[in-house]
Amino acid sequence: MYGFHRDNCRSDCIDQLDRKVATDTLPDEVLLHTFYFYVNQTWDEDAWHTLVHVCQQWRYVVFASPKRLNLRLHCTHGRAVKNMLDVWPLSLPIVISDHDLHTTPPELEGAKIFIAALKHRDRISAIDLAAWLWEPIVAMTEPFPVLTSLRLHSWAMVLNLVLPDSFMGGSCPRLQVLHLDEIPFPGVGKLLLSTSDLTGLYLQEIPVILRPRR
Q: pLDDT 10s per residue in the chain (214 long)?
A: 334 444 555 555 555 555 544 436 778 888 888 888 888 887 777 888 888 888 888 888 888 888 888 888 888 877 777 777 777 767 889 998 886 655 556 667 777 888 888 888 899 999 998 877 777 888 888 999 999 999 988 765 555 678 888 999 888 999 999 999 888 888 898 899 999 899 999 988 777 665 545 5
Q: Give the C-alpha separation, 179 to 157, whole Å.
A: 20
- The full set of domain ranges for the chain reads 1-71, 72-214
- Distance from chain centroid for Cα 173: 17
Nearest residue to 136 via CA among 111, 160, 108: 111
Q: Give the C-alpha separation, 210 to 214, whole Å.
A: 12
Q: Do residues 184 and 202 touch, judged by C-beta distance below 8 A?
A: no
> What distance separates the 2 farthest-apart alpha carbons in the chain?
77
Q: Which pLDDT value is given to residue 26?
A: 76
CA distances from 190 to 39, 92, 156, 168, 180 (A): 36, 29, 28, 11, 15
Q: Give the C-alpha separation, 205 to 127, whole Å.
A: 20
Q: Which pLDDT value is given to residue 5?
A: 47
Q: Which pLDDT value is given to residue 151?
A: 92
Q: Which pLDDT value is given to residue 200?
A: 94
Query: What are the start-end ranges of the H helices in the chain?
Result: 2-21, 28-40, 47-52, 56-64, 81-87, 108-117, 134-138, 188-193
Q: Do residues 131 and 154 touch, judged by C-beta distance below 8 A?
A: yes
Q: Which pLDDT value is given to residue 119?
A: 87
For the entire predicted model, the pTM comes to 0.75
DSSP tag of 76: B
